[in-house]
Structure 1
C-alpha cells in the first residue's frame, strides 16, 4: 500500500483553509469580491507566513523568491528588442518573472519599495518610460501574439496582487494598458477577420500557442473586470474560455503525451495551469478546462524526465524564463495526486510564486514509492516508452524510445521513429540535438514529405538515433505498430532499491511503413536486472542500404576489429558491443553533419553546428535478412566483467518477458 497521502490533520500550519468563496452558480464573468483574485486569494495570504515558518519547502522557496526579487530590483528596466522569430517574448517573460516576485514580496512585507519598482517597470513596458518601447498602441508586438499574452499576464498580476497599494492614477494607468495593449487586440484577433488571419491563427491549433495566448488574455480580463468601463474584459472571457476548451484542452494526447514535444509541455501546461487556477480562484470554477488528460500529462512529465534531463525529442523551444514545471503542483492538488507535488518539489525550477499557492503543505511521502519503473504511452500519435532502474538515483539507468506519427506535432517534431536516448552513471550516452534555427527558411513550412523542414540535419532522419535507409528520410505519413511489455516492477520507499535479475521491459516497433515497405523492426529491452540494454534491429529481405546511427558527446574508441566501441564521458565508461555481426560489419565514427548526398538546403541557409557530438555508426549492406544486436554495458562502479551478461539471439517477433532469462 502506498504511503503517499495528504495529511488528515488540517490546521493553519499544515494546510490551506477552505476557500470562503464558493458560488452556487459560477460564471467566468462573476468574480470574488476581495483581492487578490488571481491564483493567490487573500485567505491564502493570511495563513501563508505561518505555513512558511513550519514547512521547510515553502520556507526555502520563499527565500528563493526574495533573493530573485532583490536581484531583479537591482537590474535596469528591460529594453525593447525584437529577437527575430521570437519577437519580444523573452522580454515579456522576464518582466513577468519580475512582477511576480516583486508583487509576492510586497504582499509578504508590505514594503512599498517593491510597488515603486514594479510601477517603473510597468510604465516602461507600456511605452510610458524614458525610452521607446515598441510601436505606440502596439507596444506588445501583435505580430508574435505570445508576447501580447505574456505582457498582459504580467500586468494582470501586478494590477491584482498590488491592488491595494496603487493610487487611483496608477491603477487606472495599468488597467488601460491591459485593455488597450492587450485585451482589445485579443478581441480583434477573434472578431475582426483581418486581425484573425494576421495574428489570431492560434485560435485553431491545439498546442502551446493556444494555451499561452488564451491564458494571458484571461488573466488580464479577470484582473480588470468590474473596473473596466468598456466591457472588453467580459467580451474577452466569452471568447477565451470556450476556445480553450476546444483547443488548449486537446494539447495532451489521450495518453497524456504533450502533442508538440516534452519541452513545449512546459509552455503549454504553465499557461493552462495559470488560466485554470485564475478562473478557479476568481470565479469558483474551471469550466471543464482541467480535463482528465492533464492528470495523465503530469505522469507523462515524470516518465519523460530522465536522470540527466529529459527524453528531449523534437524542438526544445525558446528560453523558458517564467515557464516552469510547477503545473505539476496545480495538477497534483487539483486531482488529489500527491505524487506530482512530491516529484516537483525538489526540482530546480520550483522556487517561484506559483508553487507557494499550488503546493499543498499537507502532502506526505516519497514520489517514487510504489511508482512503476516503466510506462508505455500508447496513443498512435505518440507511441513511446520509458524504462529505468531507479527513480531516486541520479546515476540510474534510463532508456526511452519512440515510434508514432510524424504529423500532428505543430511542426515541432523530427523524422525520428525508432530514436532513443540512454542514461547511465549520471551521463547521457545517446542524446538528442534539439531544435534548429527557427528563422531558417521553411523551418515551420509544414510536416509534409517535401517540407523544407526535413532538409535540416537536426530534423532529418540522419540527425536522430535511429536507422537511415537508402540515405533518405523516413516516410512522414507512416503509422508504426508497437509491442510493449514490462514485468511491472515498482520502486518501494527504499532509495537504494535494486531490481531483481529478471526485472525487464521491452519496446518493439514495426517500421516497415516508415521505411517505405522495407521490412524493418526495431526493439529495445533491459537485461541483467536493468543493468544493461539490448538494442536490436531485424531486417527481412531489405533491398536498400541501412545505416545505424547514434549521437553522443562521449569520446569513442573503436576496438576488437570494429566489434566494440568504448565510450568515455564524465569520468565514466560505456561498452557498446556488436553481437554476432555479419562479415564486414563494424562500428565507425562520423561527424554530426549532413551527408554529401543529402538534398541541398534552401539558398543561403545552413545547419547549426553540433560541437562535441560524434555519431557512432554501423553500415549494413543491402539485400540481406539480418539481425543487428547492439549491447550497451555501463561499467558500473564495483561491477566486474563476470557480472555482465551476453543475451541470446531472439527474433523480435519472439521477444517476451522471459525470452532472455
Structure 2
C-alpha cells in the first residue's frame, strides 16, 4: 500500500476509535491470512485430531438458532419433550420461576469492581446468566416480556464504553451472552435491534479478540490466546460463539477468528491428557468446561463439525475425573483455588451422549442444577450405566481419590495430591489430603482466599506464597524449618509413584523430596485406605542435617479433644465423631493450633482469619530420620494398625 493511501486511510478513520480498528483489520487481514494458514497447519500437526479446511465457513448453517441448536424446530421439539418427561418438566418449571424473578431486576450498569485493577466480570456474568434463562423462558412460553428483559440488558451493555478488554474474561463472557441473545432470539429482534447487538459484538468484542490473536494488543492481565488454563476455554468459547452467531454477516472476520479459536483452545485441552484431570481443581474444571463444551457443541450445530476438538486426548475422560473428585457428601476434593460447590454440571449430560457414558447423565439427573443447558442436553435414553471404580488415580494433575463405597453416604473418602506447585491457581500443597467419613469433612482444604488481596496472583515476587491458604502450613502436609520464605519449593513437581487399588485396601505413595530439598535427603508420603475401614497417613523423612522443626498439619472444622498422653484426638462434627491416633514415632504427641501463620512466618494483613478452623499438629525437633504414622478410625474401632516401611506397601 502506498504511503499517501495509508495516510488518507488513517485520516478518514480518525472519526471513531472502532473505525480505526476495523480499518487496521482490513489492512492486516490480507497479510496475516497466509501466516494464519501456516499456524493452523502447524497446530494440526501438534494437536493431532484438529483439522481445518481453507474455508471454515463453507458448511455454515445460515439459519438461526445455530448455537447448540440446529434450528427453531429444536425449541419446538423441546417443548414437546417437556410434556413427556418429568425431569424436563421440573427443570423448565424452575427456570420459568427464575426468569420471572429476573423481570424486576435492575438493568445492568457499567460498574468496575475493585479487584485485580478493575473488573467488569460480575456484570458480564450477569448478562450471560440472564440471557440464557430469559431467552429459554421466551422460547418455552412465547411471552415477549422475557425477550423485552433480554433487550434491556443487551441494549444497556451495548452502550458501555467497553467490555474491559484488559481483563478479557469480562469481554468473553459478555460476548457469550450477546451471542446467545442474538442467535436464540434472532427473529424476535427488529433489524435495528439486530444491528445494535451485532455492532457491539464486533466493536467491543471481536475486534478486541482479533487484536489479541494478532499481537496488536498485548496489554492484558493474561495472555489468553496462549494460556493453558481455564482462561483459554472461557475466552475462546466467548469469541467462538460470537463469531459463529454473526458469521454469515461478517464472514472475513469470523472465518479468521473461528480458525484462531480452534487453533488455540487445544493449549488448554491438551493439559487434560492422558486421564482427563486438571491441575486447577474441580471448581475451575466446571467453570472452564462449560465454555469449552458450549464451543464444541456450537461448532457442531453451526458448521457440522468440531474439527477434531472432541477427540483430543483426555477430553473423553474428563467428566469421569470430575465425578471422581466428588466425595459421598457431594463436596469436591477442593484443591487449588477451588470452592465447595457440589459436584454437578449440566455438561455431564452432553458428555454422556457424546461419549456414550450414561453414568454421567444418571449422576447429573440425581444432582440437578436446574440450568438451561440441562434442557438442551438431557436425553432419557442415556441414563444408567455402571459406577466408576471406587479408587481413581489421574496422571498429569497427579491426584487420586479412594473411597469405601459409592452408594453409602457415610463412606470413607480420601483425596490425595501431588502435582506441580507452578500450576495455574495452584498452592504449595504437595502431599495434601482431604478426608471424609459419615458425611463429614474431617481433614479439609481451606481453598482460595480473596482474589483482591495484594499480590494474590504475584508469583514472580512471591507475595502469593505469603498467604496462609497458599502455603504448605495452610494444608494437610509437612512443613520444615518455617520462616519468611515459601515453605515448599515453588517450582517443585511430583508424581504419585505407586497407586494400588484392591477389594480390601487402596494406597498411594509419592516422593515429595523435591518439594523440601535441600532441607532433606528424602521425604515420602503414603496414604492407605485399609480394609475399607480406616485411613493411614505415613511419612518417612531422612535428613543429613537435622531438621530443626518438623511439623505435621491437619486443618479441621471439628472440635478436638486430646487424650491424657496427647497421642489420640477425638474429633467431633455435628454429633459425629472420629478418632485420630499417632502410631509413630513414640515421642510424638498432638497439639492444637489456630489456623493462622506460625510465629516464624510472614503475618499478612487482610487474609481470611479462618474462624472456626483448628490445626491438629505434630511438632518434632531436630529430626534426622523419622516415620510419622497417623491413623483415622471410627471412635469405637480399637483394632491395631500395623506399620511397615512404605517400600513394603
TM-score bucket (shorter structure): 0.7 to 0.9
1: CA distance, partners of 2:166 / 2:644: 56
Question: 1:398 matched to which residue of 2?
Answer: 413
**Distance change >3 Å, CA 214–CA 586, structure 1 → 2:** same
Residue 49 of structure 1, CA deviation: 2.0
Residue 569 of structure 1, CA deviation: 0.6
Of 456-465 and 25-34, deviating more is: 25-34
Provide, for residues 268-311 of structure 1, a one-character-per-residue CA deviation record: whole Å limited to 9, x for no partner: 11111011111111110111222231122111101111123111
**Distance change >3 Å, CA 370–CA 151, structure 1 → 2:** closer
Q: Are the equivalent residues in 2 in contact too, given 1:179–1:232 (CA < 8 A)?
A: no
Question: 2:261 matched to which residue of 1?
Answer: 240
**Distance change >3 Å, CA 440–CA 200, structure 1 → 2:** closer
Of 514-523 and 419-428, deviating more is: 514-523
**Distance change >3 Å, CA 162–CA 26, structure 1 → 2:** same
1:527 aligns with 2:530: yes
1: CA distance, partners of 2:537 / 2:500: 16
Residue 421 of structure 1, CA deviation: 0.2
1: CA distance, partners of 2:99 / 2:631: 50
**Distance change >3 Å, CA 279–CA 546, structure 1 → 2:** same
1:79 aligns with 2:109: yes
1:165 aligns with 2:224: no
Question: 1:591 matched to which residue of 2?
Answer: 594
Q: Structure 2 unaligned segments of length 5 or more: list them.
A: 1-52
**Distance change >3 Å, CA 571–CA 186, structure 1 → 2:** same
Residue 607 of structure 1, CA deviation: 2.5
Provide, for residues 459-485 of structure 1, a one-character-per-residue CA deviation record: whole Å limited to 9, x for no partner: 111111001111251123334353434
TM-score norm. by structure 1 comes to 0.84
1:377 aligns with 2:380: no
Question: 1:252 matched to which residue of 2?
Answer: 272
Residue 625 of structure 1, CA deviation: 2.8
Question: 2:614 matched to which residue of 1?
Answer: 614
Question: 2:158 matched to which residue of 1?
Answer: 126
Question: 1:504 matched to which residue of 2?
Answer: 505
Q: Are the equivalent residues in 2 in contact too, given 1:37–1:281 (CA < 8 A)?
A: yes
Taking only aligned residues, the RMSD between alpha carbons, in angstroms, comes to 2.4
**Distance change >3 Å, CA 253–CA 610, structure 1 → 2:** farther
Alignment equivalent of 2:92, drawn from 52, 58, 62:
62
**Which structure 2 residues correspond to residues 287-366 of structure 1 after superposition, within 5 A?**
287-290=307-310, 291-308=312-329, 309-316=331-338, 325-349=345-369, 351-365=370-384
**Distance change >3 Å, CA 453–CA 69, structure 1 → 2:** same
**Distance change >3 Å, CA 196–CA 478, structure 1 → 2:** closer
Residue 199 of structure 1, CA deviation: 6.1
SS in 1 for 2:61: coil
Residue 263 of structure 1, CA deviation: 1.3
Provide, for residues 212-250 of structure 1, a one-character-per-residue CA deviation record: whole Å limited to 9, x for no partner: 11110111111112234x8433332232221223x2322
2: CA distance, partners of 1:477 / 1:124: 45
1:40 aligns with 2:100: no
**Which structure 2 residues correspond to residues 135-534 of structure 1 after superposition, within 5 A?**
136=161, 138=162, 140-193=163-216, 195-198=217-220, 201-228=223-250, 231-245=252-266, 247-290=267-310, 291-308=312-329, 309-316=331-338, 325-349=345-369, 351-365=370-384, 369-379=386-396, 382-407=397-422, 409-410=423-424, 412-446=425-459, 451-471=462-482, 473-489=487-503, 503-517=504-518, 518=520, 519-528=522-531, 530-534=532-536
TM-score norm. by structure 2 comes to 0.85
SS in 1 for 2:408: coil
SS in 2 for 1:622: strand
Alignment equivalent of 1:31, drawn from 60, 67, 85:
60
Q: Are the equivalent residues in 1 in contact too, given 2:168–2:220 (CA < 8 A)?
A: no
Residue 315 of structure 1, CA deviation: 0.9
Residue 201 of structure 1, CA deviation: 1.4
Residue 192 of structure 1, CA deviation: 4.6
**Distance change >3 Å, CA 188–CA 325, structure 1 → 2:** same
**Distance change >3 Å, CA 28–CA 570, structure 1 → 2:** farther
Q: Structure 1 unaligned segments of length 5 or more: list them.
A: 1-23, 128-132, 490-502, 636-640, 656-661
1: CA distance, partners of 2:108 / 2:344: 21
Residue 182 of structure 1, CA deviation: 1.3
2: CA distance, partners of 1:59 / 1:74: 24
SS in 2 for 1:108: helix
SS in 2 for 1:187: helix
SS in 2 for 1:371: coil
Question: 2:6 matched to which residue of 1?
Answer: none
Question: 1:113 matched to which residue of 2?
Answer: 145
Query: In proportion to residue count, which structure has more helix?
Result: 2
Alignment equivalent of 2:647, drawn from 639, 650, 653:
653
**How many positions carry a matched residue from both structures?**
586
Provide, for residues 83-131 of structure 1, a one-character-per-residue CA deviation record: whole Å limited to 9, x for no partner: 222711122112211111111111122221211111112111222xxxx
Residue 537 of structure 1, CA deviation: 1.4
2: CA distance, partners of 1:610 / 1:623: 30
Residue 623 of structure 1, CA deviation: 3.2
Residue 331 of structure 1, CA deviation: 2.0
Residue 549 of structure 1, CA deviation: 0.3
Q: Are the equivalent residues in 1 in contact too, given 2:240–2:295 (CA < 8 A)?
A: yes
Highest RCO, 1 vs 2 (Cα 8 Å, sep ≥ 6): 1
Question: 2:576 matched to which residue of 1?
Answer: 572
